[in-house]
Structures are given as structure tokens and as C-alpha cells.
Amino acid sequence: MSNSLTEDFNKFVEIISLNSKEEEDIKSKHNSLTNMIIADPPKGYNIVKTRLSGSYAKHTVLNEYNVDKLPDVDIITIIDSCDKSVDEINADFLNYFEDKKGKVTPNIRQQSNSIGIIYSNISVDMVIGILKDDKLKICSNKKHDWISSNALIHIDYMIKKNKEYDFVGCNIELFDKDGVWGCRKHKEKPQKEDFLCGNQFPHPAMILTKKCMDEVNGYRSEKKTRRTEDYDLFMRLYAKGYIGYNIQENLYQYNEDMYGYSKRKFRYRIDEFWLRLEDFKELKLMPKGYIYIFKPILSGIMPKKLLKKINKIRYKDMEKKDENWCYNYA
């Protein structure tokens, strides 16, 4: 049974992994595209620079298991600021690529926040952006406005500036149907003991190296890790000597409302109790950790409405609160 599962998984990995020929072809196509737009930009525009982003830039691009989809490459094209509206800029770049069909590909389309350029074996998302106060704003066809993006910050921090860190997160804004109501500030440089209070990293906004993920064999899918796969992952990484960092900016928005609390059923709280017991031992946090393993149980017996109210107080204006207040009560 175990061997069969391993063989099936290895076969799946082989299917979704790019071979060397595919990697070279993708590299050739995106290089040709960026060289073209830099050498011969749309009339009236100055291209400041182009940057790879997304899974390709993080070296995690895969063949889509769904045969109807293609592996994708995200390219951010940064332009000088101009007086034109977002809709005008989108139209200019769409027409530009339409005019270049002979040099690019016959399949070009306007997307929510990018222009899709479709080759036979790859999909390129061309994102048009500007830099304002060193922060990236991208041209959104969906919003008809400039919207903030964290793509360049994450890539620069992870790949170029701080190679001593193995994974990077950030602070996040919390919103519900009424809009943004607070933020969750994460400790800049979490230590092992910080995991006693809870997860120290915002899972949806994380970038991790392949090396550290391979070292711990990725996520664990077990009964005790249900709803806490990320918490378990980061604790096991720290136990192996890997360390993470949180950029001290709000670079991600997370939908957290009353319905979010209903997802965590009491049986999952019990699972987390056993998970904490195991991982705290691996982190050598005992006997101090014995006090903290009961935290999910206590949270589980608390009325959801009261828990929601407490968290509203905790996370509202968190950026102004003292650092110790933010983390010791996480």
C-alpha cells in the first residue's frame, strides 16, 4: 500500500514537472517578449524595466495537471508615470500586442489585471505597473484603477537581499463584508519560543525555498495536523534549523469574519492540542510548553461571538500597539 502510494506520487510529480527542453523553450519565449517590449515599446511609453514574477520567478512553475491549462509566466512591465487613465493604458498595450501578432502569437486577450499572451505551450501574463514611493502599483482592468501589489517586495527580499532566511512573510490586513477592520502584525524575526503562542507566519502570503520544503518533506497530512498544516510546517522547519522573516508592511488582505471562526470545529482544537505537544517537544520548548498546549482547547470552549469580539479588539489598530502586546497574546 505504502509503495503503491509512493509510486503514484512520484508519477504525479513527473507529470507536472517541466523537463529541460520545456524550461529552455519557456525561457526563450519570455526573453524574446521582454526584449521586444524594451527595444520597441508602445508609442508614448518609456519602459523602466521588466521583472519576472509569480511561480516562474520563484522557480516553482509546473505543468498544469489539468490538460486544458498551460504553465504560466508572469512578467511585470514597469513604465514611467503618465497622465493617461488605467483604461487608456490597458487599451494601448493590448493594441500594441495585437499589432505584434506576427512576432508574438495569434492569441492575445485582456485579463483582470494583465494582458494574456498565449503560446502553444505557455501562457504569459503581462502585468503593467508603475513604482510610487518604491511600491508597486499595477494596472487593473477589473478595478479600472491602480492597485497595490507585493510581488516585487517579496522577490527582492527573498532572492536578493536576505539569503540567510529560508521563508518570508509579511503583515496582513483583515477585512469582512464591511471592509478592512484591522491588521495582523507578525513578529519581524520570530524565535522558537514565539510558537508557544501560535503560528508566527501568514500562510497565504508566504514564499519558501524548495530546499527547506524538501528537508521536512513538505506538509504533513495527518489527523493531528487538520486545519494546522501551516503551523506544523513552520515549527518543523525551525526544529531543523531553518529561520523565517516577516516584512513589516501590510502586503496582503485576508477575509476574516464570523464565518471564519465556524470553520474551526472543536475536534480540530483537540487535534491541535496533540500537535502542539509533539512539535513543542521537537523544538525543545518543554516543560514551559505544557502550559501552552491547552490554548486551543480554551479557545474552543469560548463562544464564537465573544472570540470574534476579542479579536476585533486585538487586531484593530494593531500597528500602533506595542510589539510585545501584539505577539504575546496571539
Model confidence at 151, pLDDT cuts 50, 70, 90, reads low
Mean per-residue pLDDT of the chain: 81
**Model pLDDT for residues 116-136, shown as the tens digit of each residue:** 888 877 888 899 999 877 778
Question: For residue 328, what pLDDT is reported?
Answer: 40
Residue 1 has pLDDT above 70, yes or no: no
Residue 251 has pLDDT above 90, yes or no: no
Distance CA 232, CA 282 (A): 11
Show the cell assigned to 107: 492569441
Q: What percent of the chain has pLDDT over 90?
A: 35
Residue 141 has pLDDT above 90, yes or no: no
52 neighbors 73 (Cβ within 8 angstroms): yes
The bridge status of strand 123-132 relative to strand 72-79 is parallel
Q: Which of 79, 47, 53 is nearest to 153 (CA)?
A: 53
199 neighbors 191 (Cβ within 8 angstroms): no
Mean local confidence (pLDDT), 34-48: 92
Question: For residue 204, what pLDDT is reported?
Answer: 86
Kindly give, in sequence order, each residue whose CB lies less than 8 Å from that of residue 318, ignoring residues fewer than 6 positions away.
182, 183, 184, 185, 326
**Model pLDDT for residues 59-83, shown as the tens digit of each residue:** 655 555 444 567 778 899 999 988 8
Distance CA 8, CA 56 (A): 25
Show the cell assigned to 283: 523544538
What is the rounded radius of gyration, in angstroms, for the C-alpha atoms of the chain?
Answer: 23
Mean local confidence (pLDDT), 255-279: 80
Listed as own residue / partner, the contacts of 290-297 with beta carbons closer than 8 Å and 24 or more positions apart are: 292/196, 292/197, 295/197, 295/198, 296/269, 296/270, 296/272, 297/269, 297/270, 297/273
**Model pLDDT for residues 187-243, shown as the tens digit of each residue:** 999 999 999 999 999 998 888 888 899 999 989 988 899 889 999 999 999 999 999
Put simply, whether the predicted model's pTM sits higher than 0.75 gets the answer: no
Question: For residue 145, what pLDDT is reported?
Answer: 87
Q: What is residue 49's three-state secondary structure?
A: strand
Question: For residue 21, what pLDDT is reported?
Answer: 80
Mean local confidence (pLDDT), 262-282: 89
Q: Which of 139, 108, 101 is nearest to 123 (CA)?
A: 108
Question: For residue 326, what pLDDT is reported?
Answer: 44
The residue ranking higher by pLDDT, 303 or 166, is 166
Model confidence at 327, pLDDT cuts 50, 70, 90, reads very low
Residue 288 has pLDDT above 60, yes or no: yes
The DSSP line for 214-267 is: HHTTS---SGGGTT-HHHHHHHHHHHTT--EEEEEEEEEEEE-SHHHHHTS-HH
Distance CA 199, CA 203 (A): 9
Which residue ranges form the domains of the chain, and what is each CATH number?
2-149 (3.30.460), 162-328 (no CATH)
